[in-house]
């Protein structure tokens, strides 16, 4: 799927929260150069980056309280999507399956 985003056959966007997660994960592993490399590659492939606003965190709060099985982190991602009219997310995370108005494109190793 990332190849399709890169070559422009699939339109995609990301959020500042996704970029924060990339930095957090690699830095927690002590892999700072990988953090920089993956972050830069992700922004290159997906240059539309949505910010996380108070409206998003308000909606995330509501999703978290009303949706069984969704994590706080996933609620933030879903809220940004819903507030921007985005319905499809590409992820391994099955927590999104219970979020109304969000459809998950199931990722597999072949998708990369």
Take residue 100 and report the two structure tokens written for it. Answer: 């109304």
Is pTM beyond 0.75? Reply is yes
| CA within 13 Å, CB half, 104 | 16
Q: Read off the pLDDT of residues 32-88 as tens digits, 9 standing for 90 and up.
A: 999 999 999 999 999 999 999 999 999 999 999 999 989 999 999 999 999 999 999
DSSP 20: H
Tell me, what DSSP letter sits at residue 98?
Answer: G
For the cut 80, the answer to whether the pLDDT of residue 10 exceeds it is yes
The residue ranges of every structural domain in the chain are 11-50, 52-112
Rounded CA gap, 105 and 1, in Å? Answer: 10
CA 86 to chain centre: 11
Give the Cα separation of 30 and 76 in Å (integer). 26
Q: What is the DSSP letter of 88?
A: E
pLDDT at 110 over 50: no
């Amino acid at each position: 799927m990332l190849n399709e985003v890169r070559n422009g056959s699939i339109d995609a966007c990301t959020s500042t929260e996704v970029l924060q997660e990339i930095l957090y994960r690699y830095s927690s592993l002590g892999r700072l150069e990988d953090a920089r490399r993956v972050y830069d590659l992700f922004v290159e492939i997906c240059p539309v980056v949505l910010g996380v606003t108070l409206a998003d965190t308000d909606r995330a709060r509501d999703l978290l309280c009303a949706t069984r099985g969704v994590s706080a982190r996933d609620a933030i991602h879903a809220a940004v999507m819903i507030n921007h009219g985005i319905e499809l997310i590409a992820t391994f995370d099955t927590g999104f399956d219970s979020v109304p108005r969000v459809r998950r494109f199931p990722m597999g190793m072949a998708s990369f």
